[in-house]
Amino acid sequence: MPAASTMQDTSANAYPKLRSHLFDDSGGLGYHLRALRHRRTLWAPFIAQVADWLNAWQAPTAHLVIIGPSGGYTLDQTFLQRFARITVLEPDPLARLILRRRFSGLRIEHGELDCLSGREGPSWLSRLYPGASLLFANVLGQSPALTEDARWTENLRTALQAHHWASWHDVLSAATPPLADTDRPLEPAADITTLATRCWRWPTQVCDHDSFGLAGHQDGLALWQLGSAQWQIVEWGIHAP
């Protein structure tokens, strides 16, 4: 296994830095409370699916950088134990504390880079962690960058083309149950419209997270019942240089 990478001193004060916060539309304190309530019940089938994805991902580095894992509620310890060093980029201070306690036997450090800030964020991620594998932990589907900048996804792929990286991210969400079973992976879909009409029927209001096919291809789909009235369709994608 290659030696663990080190963070490069590339204009150390120039890169965008995370701003700590406890409240967020898709995370923060509300998400922690929801995890406490549902992690072992409603979330269990989805967490098992993520574990399968992660353990099948062959990331051949000693260093893993995880972007936006919150408290690590959907992360798998067996997968994490493969890495000698783990860096977490997470703005929520409570999430950082929970993550450390949940995986107390692992070497976890916290970085300051906000790689989702602006068009140059992915480039900074590549420059500061050149030898690491990168894991976006259900964060890209909530990133404003995807909807505010039509070129951001392509910039991400270009900036990270030399890295092993993976992401699971929301592609669709709705407040009504989908037609498919929530405990089974979904079949691949050619486009977002096909996926949406397969899972819901008009006049259901479905939110498109602008993240379909984000990795350039589709390696898995799963349903996640996030709450009593919230369902997400989550996509898994991996890239190898």
Q: pLDDT class for 180, splitting at 50, 70, 90?
A: low
Q: How would residue 241 be classed by pLDDT, with cut points 50, 70 and 90?
A: very high
For the full predicted model, state whether its pTM sits above 0.95. no
Structural domains in the chain, sorted by start: 28-239 (3.40.50)
Instruction: Give me the pLDDT at residue 223, please.
Output: 92
Average pLDDT over residues 110-135: 94
- Is it the case that residue 139 has pLDDT exceeding 80? yes
For residue 217, what pLDDT is reported?
Answer: 84
> Is residue 142 pLDDT above 90, yes or no?
no
Three-class HEC string of the chain: CCCCCCCCCCCCCCCCECCCCCECCCCHHHHHHHHHHHCCCCCHHHHHHHHHHHHHCCCCCCEEEEECCCCCCCCCHHHHCCCCEEEEECCCHHHHHHHHHHCCCCCEEECCECCCCCCCHHHHHHHHCCCCEEEEECCHHHCHHHHHCCCHHHHHHHHCCCCCEEEEEEEEEECCCCCCCCCCCCCCCCCHHHHHHHHCCCCCCEEECCCCCCCCCCCEEEEEEEECCEEEEEEEEEECC
Q: What pLDDT sits at residue 25?
A: 58
Mean pLDDT of 119-140: 95
> pLDDT value at position 145?
82
Rounded average pLDDT over 182-199 = 80
For the ranges 27-36, 129-138, 148-157, 230-239, the lowest mean pLDDT is seen at 27-36
Q: Which residue has the higher pLDDT, 178 or 5?
A: 178
- The answer, yes or no, to whether residue 186 has pLDDT greater than 50, is yes
pLDDT band at 144 (very low <50, low <70, confident <90, very high): confident
Average model confidence (pLDDT) for the chain?
A: 88
pLDDT of residue 23: 61
